[in-house]
């Protein structure tokens, strides 16, 4: 299982252009940036299962597309897990899902059902409910990409009563993405819900993805402890120096220093 992300920005130019892009794995679209305005920024990310020798690349969505070199990146990694006591590799758990058609939600905190499943390794994601149920206790990573055909496309990724991340756009016909890590116990559920009372989601450019980063290994004496964190701001702030993210959601391995 692999995870990929792309960030794009249009260059400063007098020519109207966009920075929309698809991450492709052969004929499978992993995710899409689909902005509605010129001179914009965007990002999207997704997990995908690959066989040895398969290729992944980024391609433009429109015929008039340009990327600013200093602010556009393409990245990816193989998601691997440490070995347990028995020396057996931990099973893979991950998914990537989209809508089969555009969705429209007029109510707040409405759960989204991503019914077009791209892949679902371990079958932990249920397209009938929109829930991902943790098959084992461990650290997980989730991301959501949204694009509004009209209205807004704001959402929360929720893990029970914990908000993993939020897309909070201030304009209509906009695109957004958010991502975050969270520690789950076996049986806990994660889903995406609408944020606000006027949202719509374009099927071609909205997706929900996630995977097991590493399982909980109890008292295992690992040479290298996995380090992963997720932090937010506790209140709105005017930033004049280094940003102090003071609301800690997850800090496994204590790699994030709250006081610096």
Q: Which domains does the chain have, with CATH numbers?
A: 2-215 (2.60.120.40), 227-260 (no CATH)
Q: How confident is the model at residue 198 (pLDDT cuts 50, 70, 90)?
A: confident
Among 20, 59, 58, 23, smallest CA distance to 39 is for 20
Q: How confident is the model at residue 108 (pLDDT cuts 50, 70, 90)?
A: confident
For residue 205, which phi and psi values (nearest 5 degrees)? -130, 20
At 168-196, the pLDDT tens digits run 887 888 888 999 999 999 999 999 999 98
pLDDT at 243: 62
Q: What is the pTM of this model?
A: 0.81
Among 33, 27, 1, 255, smallest CA distance to 145 is for 33
At 112-157, the pLDDT tens digits run 999 999 999 999 999 999 999 999 998 899 999 999 888 888 999 9
| Gap between the Cα atoms of 227 and 202, Å rounded | 35
At 72-90, the pLDDT tens digits run 788 888 875 444 434 444 5
Residue ranges with strand state E in 49-98: 56-60, 73-78, 94-98
> Residue range 218-243: average pLDDT?
61
Say whether pLDDT at 101 is over 80: yes
The more confident residue out of 235 and 56 is 56
> Residue range 24-29: average pLDDT?
92
Among residues of the chain, what percentage have pLDDT more than 70?
Answer: 85
The more confident residue out of 249 and 225 is 249
Among 85, 87, 122, smallest CA distance to 212 is for 122
For residue 41, which phi and psi values (nearest 5 degrees)? -120, 160
CA 67-71-74 angle, to 5 degrees, is 75
Count CB atoms within 10 A of the CB of residue 150: 14
pLDDT at 237: 61
| Gap between the Cα atoms of 26 and 36, Å rounded | 26
> Residue range 26-50: average pLDDT?
86
Structure tokens belonging to residue 155: 């959402």
Among 36, 51, 40, 42, smallest CA distance to 10 is for 40
| Gap between the Cα atoms of 209 and 44, Å rounded | 11
């Amino acid at each position: 299982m692999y995870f990929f992300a792309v960030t794009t920005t249009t260059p400063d130019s007098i020519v109207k252009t966009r920075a929309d892009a698809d991450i492709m794995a052969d004929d499978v679209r992993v995710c899409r940036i689909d902005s509605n305005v010129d001179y914009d920024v965007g990002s999207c990310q997704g997990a995908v299962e690959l066989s040895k020798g398969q290729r992944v690349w980024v391609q433009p969505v429109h015929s008039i597309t340009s990327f600013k070199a200093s602010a556009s990146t393409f990245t990816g990694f193989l998601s691997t897990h440490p070995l347990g006591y028995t020396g057996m590799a931990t099973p893979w758990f991950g998914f990537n899902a989209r809508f089969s058609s555009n969705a429209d939600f007029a109510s707040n905190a409405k759960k989204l059902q991503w019914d077009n499943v791209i892949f679902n390794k371990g079958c932990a994601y249920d397209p009938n409910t929109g829930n991902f149920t943790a098959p084992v206790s461990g650290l997980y990573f989730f991301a959501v990409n949204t694009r509004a055909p009209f209205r807004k496309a704001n959402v929360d990724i929720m893990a029970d009563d914990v908000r993993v991340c939020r897309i909070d756009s201030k304009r209509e016909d906009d695109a957004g993405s958010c991502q975050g890590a969270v520690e789950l116990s076996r049986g806990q559920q994660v889903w995406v819900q609408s944020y606000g009372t006027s949202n719509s989601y374009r099927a071609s450019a909205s997706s929900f993805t996630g995977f097991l980063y590493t399982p909980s290994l109890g008292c295992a004496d690992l040479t290298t402890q996995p380090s992963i964190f997720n932090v937010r701001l506790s209140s709105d702030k005017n930033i004049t120096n280094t940003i102090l993210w003071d609301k800690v959601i997850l800090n496994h391995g204590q790699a994030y220093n709250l006081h610096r």
